[in-house]
Chains A and B, each alone.
Chain A
């Protein structure tokens, strides 16, 4: 398994062989389609085809989105969510990369820890929240732990597989030159594994946001996830949909930001 085999959550426009170049204006039909769908939504609500307290016209949602941004409340919620996602992500990255490298290179530790990791891996995140509340409470500790746990697996797996599939000749060559194990790590192992690690980090980037929101929805008192539930209970669907919009925007921006960063940091990415 090579890094390129690992399905990434990158955008559609990217392929293994590089970015698809599109003729300008080729997305126009798609944009029109979205506009048409939104108009249909607006009409279905205004004309009373769909009558529900939870189906406001799009124009109300836009007004709510503007008010939300001007009042700053959505920014406060987003910051709380992003903060939890970021802490969990950083913790998962450190643990995932370190354990991935160590377990791939040390047989004894691999025998000891890999089975444990494999047992926890298939556990769906929502299932683990109820028992964890009893131990960690409903505060940041819980949410950050859940984010870290969910983000850990893709990072760990790609790192582990990446290190394990390094060409043996590379290691042997390095050994012949009798370089120290630290230099082996930084000079040989890490650069060769970086594309694989990046693929795992990318998957985790979108995962950490989703999981942070999810945990806030189940056991929250702040953050966008809680805000969504709160607005539902306060019968303010316009604010709720507006928050979903900002959330999607944030997710999109995170993904794009990661791709841009990756392209700069690992220029040899994708050339497997």
Chain B
């Protein structure tokens, strides 16, 4: 049983508690229990949010954030999978790369921002590399564990059948370790989003992260919350899309 199917099973009931929270929040605002400047009412936030959507102002920052994220995430997923498989199947590559991976991995990625600014300048390249750095390690490690955890009989069989190395990787190893690769990509999704928002905050050109910080610095709290709503919607949509893709790719998953 997966808790996601459970959540779907609840149907409309799953909207009840968020609706209740919003009502209480709205009511508290109207009764003057909250500071209207610091915490706008939900209806006020929704009004600004709808304004952003209907005027199309939401589009450019949204595309900026999604674009940077997707580029970084795709690179990280491909790189992580490739390195993971390479390190799991080749003892030489493992010996060469393992110490480097293990020493780069524990560095909190935000601490690398000044170095990236120096080499890549302040712009899209830095932001994409930050997303890649944050997302690549979970994919790499999960892939590595997936490949190393494969049934040895499977690989033996491939060897006995004299299947070429590249075909073994693409037809045997990759499909068999797909659940673990996807599990790593799920973690990477969240981390990548965190870093893209952070990068936009630090090197403000455009994007949702820049909007949130810019409105906070100008004390435009309603606009700030409206952009946070945009971000939550984006994050939620990404996770949903990922789940759908995962269910398609690994249909046997969750039927344990």
Contacts and interface: CB of A to CB of B under 8 A. Distances in A.
Complex contact flag A–B (Cβ < 8 Å): yes
Interface of A: 1-2, 5-17, 20, 22, 26-31, 33-34, 37, 50, 52, 54-55, 104, 110-116, 118-128, 130-131, 133-135, 157, 160-161, 164-165, 203, 206, 209-210, 213-214, 217-218, 225, 228, 232, 237, 240, 243-244, 247-252, 255
A213 to B, nearest CB: 5
B235 A134 contact: no
Contacts of B238: 122
Contact of B18 (A6, A115, A206, A209): A115
Contacts of A26: 91, 94-95
Contact of B110 (A33, A160, A217): A217
A114 B190 CA distance: 19
Contact of B38 (A55, A134, A161, A243): A134
Contacts of B33: none
A247 B6 contact: no
Interface string B1-15: 111001100100111
B191 to A, nearest CB: 9
B124 to A, nearest CB: 18
Nearest to A30: B99
A120 to B, nearest CB: 8
Interface secondary structure of A, over-half rule = helix
Contacts of B6: 110, 114, 164
**Majority-rule SS of B interface residues:** helix
Contacts of B197: 124, 126-127
A7 B138 contact: yes
Q: Which 4 A-B pairs have the closest CB atoms?
A: A122-B235, A251-B106, A30-B99, A16-B149
A102 to B, nearest CB: 13
A157 B238 CA distance: 18
A131 B183 contact: no
B108 A209 contact: yes
Nearest to B84: A12
B194 A125 contact: yes
B231 interface: yes
Interface stretch (B23-31, B49-57, B158-166, B208-216): B208-216
A251 B108 contact: yes
B7 A118 contact: yes
A160 B97 CA distance: 36
Contact of A214 (B108, B149, B184): B108
B99 A27 contact: yes
Interface in B122-162: 138, 140-142, 144-145, 148-149
A7 B107 contact: no
8 contacts: A5-B179, A11-B102, A26-B95, A30-B99, A121-B235, A122-B239, A130-B212, A164-B2
B198 interface: yes
Contacts of A14: 145
B177 to A, nearest CB: 11
B209 A127 contact: yes
B180 interface: yes
Given A119-B236, A134-B221, 5 more contacts: A16-B149, A34-B99, A127-B208, A131-B228, A206-B106
Contacts of A237: 114
A240 B100 contact: no
A17 B155 CA distance: 15
Interface in B84-122: 87, 91-92, 94-103, 106-112, 114-115, 118
Contacts of A165: 1, 256
